């Protein structure tokens, strides 16, 4: 596949327009070929119109056919994995091993959603039979299921050029639901996005999909992305990025004559609570685990633990000392883009100037524009509670340790936390028994609670929740990882007193698809 630097509109390419922009290698600062031409307002209109027309047919595709499309995308990604990974390495500085793992995750997600829709239970089909003899009024026949929303806009993330990008989880779940997708790729991995976009285009053509079920529009989010969100034919948005970016899209979507849902993942500091008994037993081991999680991938994970709470004492001091040694000896790493690195450095400097905060360890990253050094900060609960800015995310390899004078003070700090993707507790059974109020509180603060582990690494499975209360996400009832992600792009539709022949197969009396349904309040394949 030859890169052309042009947006993908269904089965065609957009025409070059305006001044092109080059993709960049963050490790060297060198420009990468080819130049990329931004999409135009005309391209936005064409992509939206194509998607709307495609939805008429695509929403009627049986699950097996949509599953075949998802599996074909996975096969083609695997067949072209070397070229994709090599380009992604140039554009992101992520090591090939990480990109190989991300390729596996991307293809695994596609196949997981293929299996999900074939099984059919995700549709939540429900049947309540009529009862003509009910008094005082007869009971109608009522049946419902989840139906696709319509064309969806997906914004790629900066830190996952494959798994949260062009053919990542948002795209996979939207296509699985029966929704056409228009992707606005991240500007940090343009070539990678084009390669994967061409693969999805090829798979769509091979599977006989209506033109318009998939498009890719290159361009800045404030212009092209906002124009897509405002377009009246778009029915939902998936976004992973900053709080500022997510809020801008939420506001734009809410201001439309027809507001639409924006499912935005906007960042998290992922607090870790190290309870007293376990800290006394293995302070240095916990410090090593914390260090590994904080610095993994140069700290560029949305589940990076940017905050740790400990009860003051000898065990906490041993933990902090070991963590300080490890953080101070961490080699600097190349971040995904120079802009991300600049924001990280600004965050480190801001924390360094905060009253009551000690910069316990830091690594000089040199003059490279995208080079970042690890940083460790230590403060006490009083300073933390008195400075809301210490709860802000510093996206990169840094963390803040908060020393609490008592269990009550730790609980008070937990109450002040904003919504999070994750919250982690390290403790013994005795610790858990003594901190039940903390555990209960954290269920209100985070989408995923981790026990005696670290939050980096998100398992793609049916039970996973990768979401959380605002501002971690725009809608804490949703997830962007796991099979529940498909629910973001569907809505319930009810059929009352319809003749059997006019019902969708999923709701017909004989259950011709053999799917799981709730019939008169009883679950089963009946």
Same domain? For 161 and 63 the reply is yes
Q: Catalytic one among 107, 179, 302, 341?
A: 302
- CA dist list (Å): 455 to 52, 357, 390, 463: 39, 24, 20, 16
CATH classification at residue 230:
3.40.605.10
HSE, side-chain direction, 13 A CA sphere, residue 27: 11
Residue 448 CA to residue 467 CA, distance in Å, equals 8
Q: The tokens of 111 are what?
A: 């196949």
Same domain? For 229 and 374 the reply is no
Shortest CA distance to 393 belongs to which of 350, 431, 427, 428? Answer: 350
Q: What pLDDT does 50 receive?
A: 98
Same domain? For 312 and 363 the reply is yes
- Residue 488 phi, psi dihedral angles, 5° rounding: -65, -25
Residue 282 CA to residue 402 CA, distance in Å, equals 18
Same domain? For 237 and 329 the reply is no
Same domain? For 221 and 339 the reply is no
* 265 given a catalytic annotation: yes
Shortest CA distance to 388 belongs to which of 272, 291, 274, 471? Answer: 471
Q: Facing residues of 142 across strands?
A: 128, 496
HSE, side-chain direction, 13 A CA sphere, residue 198: 17
Same domain? For 80 and 228 the reply is yes
Q: What pLDDT does 364 receive?
A: 87
In a domain, 98, yes or no: yes
CATH classification at residue 400:
3.40.309.10
In a domain, 301, yes or no: yes
- Residue 402 phi, psi dihedral angles, 5° rounding: -110, 115
Count of domains in the chain?
2
Q: What pLDDT does 412 receive?
A: 96
Q: What is the DSSP letter of 138?
A: P
In a domain, 184, yes or no: yes
In a domain, 322, yes or no: yes
Alpha-helix residue ranges (DSSP H) falling in 417-522 = 429-434, 436-445
Q: The tokens of 107 are what?
A: 């293809």
What is the per-residue pLDDT across 81-112, written as a single tens digit (0 to 9) for each? Answer: 999 999 999 999 999 999 999 999 999 999 99
What is the per-residue pLDDT across 471-482, written as a single tens digit (0 to 9) for each? Answer: 999 999 999 999
What is the per-residue pLDDT across 399-437, written as a single tens digit (0 to 9) for each? Answer: 999 999 999 999 999 999 999 999 999 999 999 999 999
In a domain, 68, yes or no: yes
Look at the block and give the residue holding tokens 């000089």. 364
In a domain, 307, yes or no: yes
In a domain, 319, yes or no: yes
Same domain? For 484 and 385 the reply is no
Q: Are strands 358-362 and 375-380 parallel, antiparallel or unpaired?
A: antiparallel
Residue pLDDT tens, the chain, 526 long? 899 999 999 999 999 988 899 999 999 999 999 999 999 999 999 999 999 999 999 999 999 999 999 999 999 999 999 999 999 999 999 999 999 999 999 999 999 999 999 999 999 999 999 999 999 999 999 999 999 999 999 999 999 999 999 999 999 999 999 999 999 999 999 999 999 999 999 999 999 999 999 999 999 988 999 999 999 999 999 999 999 999 999 999 999 999 999 999 998 999 999 999 999 999 999 999 999 999 999 999 999 999 999 999 999 999 999 999 999 999 999 999 999 999 999 999 999 999 999 999 989 887 778 999 999 999 999 999 999 999 999 999 999 999 999 999 999 999 999 999 999 999 999 999 999 999 999 999 999 999 999 999 999 999 999 999 999 999 999 999 999 999 999 999 999 999 999 999 999 999 999 999 999 999 999 9
Same domain? For 345 and 209 the reply is no
Q: Which residues of 257-270 are buried (b: 16+ CB within 10 A; e: fewer)?
A: eeebbbbbbbbbbb
Same domain? For 315 and 233 the reply is no
Q: The tokens of 368 are what?
A: 């490279």
The domain in which residue 163 lies consists of 40-118+149-266+476-488
> 3-class SS at 231?
coil
In a domain, 102, yes or no: yes
Q: Catalytic one among 91, 102, 265, 506?
A: 265
Same domain? For 397 and 447 the reply is yes
Same domain? For 191 and 243 the reply is yes
Same domain? For 249 and 174 the reply is yes
Q: Give this prediction's pTM.
A: 0.96
Look at the block and give the residue holding tokens 């976009």. 197
> 3-class SS at 271?
strand
* 494 given a catalytic annotation: no
């Amino acid at each position: 596949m030859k890169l052309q630097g042009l947006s993908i509109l269904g089965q065609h390419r957009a025409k070059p327009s305006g001044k092109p922009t080059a993709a960049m290698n963050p490790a060297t600062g060198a420009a990468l070929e080819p130049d990329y031409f931004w999409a135009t307002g005309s391209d936005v209109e064409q992509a939206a119109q194509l998607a709307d027309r495609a939805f008429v047919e695509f929403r009627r595709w049986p699950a097996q056919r949509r599953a075949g499309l998802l599996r074909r995308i996975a096969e083609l990604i695997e067949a072209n994995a070397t070229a994709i990974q090599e380009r992604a390495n140039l554009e992101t500085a992520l090591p090939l091993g990480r990109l190989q793992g991300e390729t596996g995750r991307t293809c695994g997600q596609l196949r997981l959603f293929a299996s999900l829709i074939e099984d059919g239970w995700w549709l939540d089909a429900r049947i309540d039979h009529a009862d003509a003899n009910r008094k005082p009024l007869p009971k109608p026949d009522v049946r419902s299921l989840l139906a696709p929303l319509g064309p969806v806009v997906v914004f790629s993330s900066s830190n996952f050029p494959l798994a949260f990008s062009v053919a990542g989880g948002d795209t996979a779940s939207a296509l699985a639901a029966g929704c056409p997708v228009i992707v606005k790729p991240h500007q940090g991995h343009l070539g990678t996005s084009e390669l994967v976009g061409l693969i999805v285009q090829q798979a769509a053509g091979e599977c006989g999909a209506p033109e318009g079920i998939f498009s890719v529009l290159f361009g800045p989010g404030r212009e092209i992305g906002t124009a897509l969100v405002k377009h009246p034919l778009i029915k939902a948005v998936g976004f992973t990025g900053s709080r500022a970016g997510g809020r801008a899209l939420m506001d734009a979507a809410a201001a439309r004559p027809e507001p639409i849902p924006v499912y935005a993942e906007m960042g998290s500091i992922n607090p870790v609570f190290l309870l007293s008994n376990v800290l006394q037993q293995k302070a240095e081991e916990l410090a090593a685990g914390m260090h590994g999680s904080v610095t993994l991938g140069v700290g560029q994970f949305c589940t990076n633990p940017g905050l740790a709470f400990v009860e003051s004492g000898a065990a906490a001091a041993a933990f902090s000392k070991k963590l300080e040694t490890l953080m101070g000896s961490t080699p600097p790493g190349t971040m995904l883009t120079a802009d991300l690195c600049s924001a990280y450095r600004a965050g480190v400097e801001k924390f360094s100037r905060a009253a009551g905060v000690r910069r316990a360890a830091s690594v000089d990253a040199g003059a490279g524009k995208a080079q970042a050094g690890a940083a460790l900060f230590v403060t006490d609960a009083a300073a933390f509670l008195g400075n809301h800015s210490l709860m802000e995310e510093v996206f990169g390899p840094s963390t803040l340790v908060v020393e609490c004078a008592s269990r009550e003070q730790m609980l008070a700090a937990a109450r002040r936390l904003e919504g999070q993707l994750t919250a982690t507790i390290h403790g013994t059974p005795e610790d858990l028994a003594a901190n039940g109020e903390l555990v209960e509180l954290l269920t209100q603060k985070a989408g995923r609670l981790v026990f005696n582990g670290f939050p980096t690494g998100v398992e793609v499975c049916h039970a996973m929740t990768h979401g959380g209360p605002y501002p971690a996400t725009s809608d804490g009832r949703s997830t962007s990882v796991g099979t529940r992600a498909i629910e973001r792009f569907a809505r319930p539709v009810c059929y009352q007193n319809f003749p059997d022949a006019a019902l969708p197969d999923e709701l017909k009396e004989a259950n011709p698809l053999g799917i799981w349904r709730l019939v008169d309040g009883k679950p089963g394949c009946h």
